[in-house]
Amino acid sequence: MKFSKLSQLFLVSSIGLLVATLLTACQIVTIDYVFVASSAGSGTSSNGQIDIFAVDSESGALRQGAPAADSGGIDPVSLAVTSDYANLYVANQGTSTTSPTIAHFTIGLNGALTAKDTITLTQPAVALAANASNTYLYAVSGATGATAATLTAYPLSKGAIGAAASQAALAIPGYGGDTVVPTGVTVLANGGAVYATVYDQSAYNPGGSTTSTANPGWVFGSVVGSGGALGAPTAYKAGVKPSGIAADPTNRFVYVTDYASSQLIGYTIESGSTLNFLINGPFKTGNEPSAVVIDPRGKYIYVSNALDSTVSAYAIDLSTGTPSIAVSTTGTGSNSTGSQPQGIAVDPALGRFVYTANYLDNSLSGFSLNPNSGTLTPTQAAPYPTGSKPTALVMVPHGNHSIQSVTP
């Protein structure tokens, strides 16, 4: 069969268009999914929502993924995922007339969330963390005016949340009647210890009265025993108002942001769980640091600064744990975000992108992370719109991408 010249031209053009389309499509490769907790969505439900975004492997640009999911309660404030990236947990604060909850979702291959079980709490949880073996979910909770926060270990069975296996009260040493406000929780990669941050509102209460002379900021550490039992918490001073906490992937260092003093406090981990201050700290951050994250290689620290609307970047001295603010494209150590970033995350698939949830902007900011230097540059088309007042975000790798968790 013969073709006319016009037919041949049409055929060649069609093939070229098809090839170009395929090449363009091939460039859009999803490496991670981002889950963002927002206080409310665009629908009529009063519940919060979880927005789902897909991360492009080349640019780090975000695009809408699976449909947003109801958070399973009102006012979601914290997210956690299991290390196999199959389960997501949401802490919902509730209201004066609705109970606080922790909702469990399974994560589909396309990032879609499927609601599973939900547990009702007596005190609202403010932060969640799952251990690496996916056997326990840790929550730090506290009611308004309570004299102790509570660290709770919930057993996990194929992702499902069981009844509390162990609890530990977090009361200020020597000041048992003081009001305690919990702020964060992290678990070591080896699962051997859990750390929770709180501050003493009786000693630190801007705009209100104080009734205590106690140190205001604290980290409590509990050794995890057999059956998930939480050991008696050991209290360590942590500035004025600790706001975020992260442990490095090699179980050697813990870092805490101090919102009131605009500092990053570092600790070495000794004897498996004991915390000791880094001798040359604390370290300057931007104003009102809200959250902290360590890249999966254990080489860099990133801090979101709520008042400045920036991210501070640090390189970790691997021998001492000292964070160096030398990491910056501008020389200031800061990178601009949307207004009032509340949460921060590094992608686990490549360890090449950083995102912040911006509470007042209803958006996510994105940065490309240079794995050789730790410097950040804005991602393509950022910022990315979210639901109302995003408070937290987590990320999971897509498909068979390797996880960039290595010993530094």
Q: Is residue 214 assigned to a domain? A: yes
Copy the structure tokens of residue 333: 């150590």
**What pLDDT is recorded for position 218?**
98
Q: In total, how many domains does the chain have? A: 1
Under DSSP, is residue 7 helix (H, G, I), strand (E, B) or coil? Answer: helix
CATH number at residue 49: 2.130.10.10
| Res. 97: pLDDT tops 60 | yes
Residue showing tokens 């929770």: 196
Residue-range definition of the domain harbouring residue 105: 30-397
- On whether residue 408 sits in a domain, the answer given is no
Pairing of strands 341-346, 334-336: unpaired
> Which amino acid makes up residue 377?
T
Is residue 140 included in any domain, yes or no? yes
46 φψ region: left (φ > 0), alpha (ψ -120 to 50), beta (else) = alpha
Measure the CA–CA gap between 351 and 408, rounded to whole angstroms: 13
For 238-267, what is each residue's pLDDT tens digit? Answer: 999 999 999 999 999 999 999 999 999 999
Question: Is the pLDDT reported for residue 407 higher than 60?
Answer: no
Question: CA-to-CA distance for 353 and 385, rounded, in angstroms?
Answer: 17
To the nearest 10°, report the CA torsion of 145, 149, 155, 156: 70
> pLDDT, tens digit, for every residue of 147-165?
989 999 999 999 999 999 9
Cβ atoms of 149 and 196 within 8 Å: the answer is: yes
Q: Which amino acid, 211?
A: T
Q: What is the pLDDT of residues 28-39, one digit of tens each?
A: 789 999 999 998
* pLDDT at position 125 over 60: yes
* pLDDT exceeds cutoff 70 at 42: no
pTM over 0.85: yes
Distances (CA, A) of 2 to 5, 7, 15, 313, 363: 10, 9, 18, 65, 57
Residue 383, preceding peptide bond in cis (omega within 30° of 0) = yes
Q: Tell me, yes or no, whether 405 lies in a domain.
A: no
Residues 310-324 pLDDT 10s: 999 999 999 999 998
Q: Is the pLDDT of residue 21 over 50?
A: no
Residue 320 belongs to a domain:
yes
Counted residue by residue, the chain has a size of 408
232, 220 Cβ separation under 8 angstroms: no
- pLDDT, tens digit, 9 for 90 and up, residues 324-376: 876 655 545 579 999 999 999 999 999 999 999 999 999 999 999 999 999 99
Integer Cα distance of 92 and 102 in angstroms: 6
110 part of a folded domain: yes
In a domain, 42, yes or no: yes
Q: Within a domain: residue 64?
A: yes
**Is the pLDDT reported for residue 50 higher than 50?**
yes
